Amino acid sequence: MPPKVSICLPNLNNRRFLPERLDSILSQTFQDWELVIVDSYSDDGAWELLQEYAAKEPRIRLFQAPREGIYAGFNACIRLAHGEYIYIATSDDTMRSDCLEKMVKALDSNRDCNLCQCGLVFIDEKSQPLPPDKQWNQFGACNYFKLWLEKYHKRLAPHDGILHFAVNTVYTSVTQLLIRKRVFDEIGYFETCWGPMGDFEWGMRASLLYNTVYLPEYLATWRKHSAQATTNPYTPKNLNNLLRMAHHALKIAKKLNPKKVKGISFSELAFEYEMAMVTVGINERKQVIAKLIYLFHCLFKIPKTVTYYILNKIFYSNKNKDSSINWITSKIINLGVSGPIEINITQLNENLK
């Protein structure tokens, strides 16, 4: 019988972090797993360490492959996997001992969801949590979800796919995801041409088409250190790259399931991206409400005149500013995370008067 979960661990010269990562896997309370490791000919002692672990643990399957980048490593592991679920365990991160148990239970209980997301803890090189103001729940999509980060909930496609475009990503790290393997069979693997932000494109592609169940527990970590493959998404070059990735993800999603993404226009996405995000401060991750309005506009094709009117009222007028923001935020968060967002333009305009 194949294992329930395939843990995929690509590695290149992360010897110093591997013992903690491997021990976090071996200590999982959920035991029906295989560990597929693809090492890219490490020369720091990692390969020898991996062989030691594999000699003691029969569930470890050990391979080597050329150095072709992190996403090629992800793909190599996934192609070798036998499990129903895929968990990508980056070699410099770790996870709580009940991570797999709780995420497997969430997907088993929600057959209409193909992605499970949990909370994320940012840690440093010594495995210590970063200060509260530097944690995952202070950035990106977390500013959109707010109190929903502490609630078990379900988000229906294409909600998260559009939200990817609005806040640059919803899934900060692959370590906070458990994915049904058939998703990769249906929509393809990680593409290797986008550089260190390439998981954004796959995440948007997947979440345009598949529902996500969110587990409000901080089960996985993302280690911040000097040698990790990361980049600042807010440079002009990277913002343009995000536009190109979003266009590509939407094109694939429309080809695979045109009904699911019907009415989503990339030209509108790109236009509103420039108008509603870049020009009102997304580079500093401020003006969260602008992102919400942008998401609102894209999902329901609100006329541009209405969108401009709302933005103008909120950002260039102090009249009822607080009540307007509170109303829109409440409307989107309360209705948006678990189903299609409904909007009453008349009520919206009344709240903005």
Where exactly are the structural domains of the chain? 5-223, 281-352
Of the chain, the end-to-end C-alpha distance in Å amounts to: 63
Predicted local confidence at residue 8, as pLDDT:
98
Distance, in Å, from the CA atom of 79 to the CA atom of 55, rounded to the nearest integer, reads 23
Mean pLDDT of 340-352: 38
Which pLDDT value is given to residue 307? 64
User: Who wins on pLDDT, 80 or 349?
Assistant: 80
What kind of fold does domain 5-223 have according to CATH?
A: Spore Coat Polysaccharide Biosynthesis Protein SpsA; Chain A (3.90.550)
The CA-CA-CA angle for residues 252, 256, 258, to 5°, reads: 95
What confidence score (pLDDT) does residue 134 get? 92
Specify the pLDDT at position 219.
98
pLDDT bin (cut points 50, 70, 90) of residue 187 is: very high
pLDDT, position 138: 86
| Residue 326 reports pLDDT greater than 70 | no
Cα–Cα distance, 89 to 176 (Å, whole number): 9
Residue 352 is predicted with a pLDDT of 36
Q: Using CA atoms, how far apart are residues 146 and 335, in angstroms rounded to an integer?
A: 13
Structure tokens given for 252: 């694939």
Interval 193-241: pLDDT, tens: 998 888 999 999 999 999 999 999 999 999 987 666 666 766 667 777 8
The pLDDT, as a whole number, for residue 351 is 41
Region 122-132: mean pLDDT is 94
Q: Where are the beta strands (DSSP E) in 45-156?
A: 60-64, 85-88, 113-123, 153-155
How much helix, strand and coil, in percent to the nearest 5, is found in the chain?
50, 15, 35
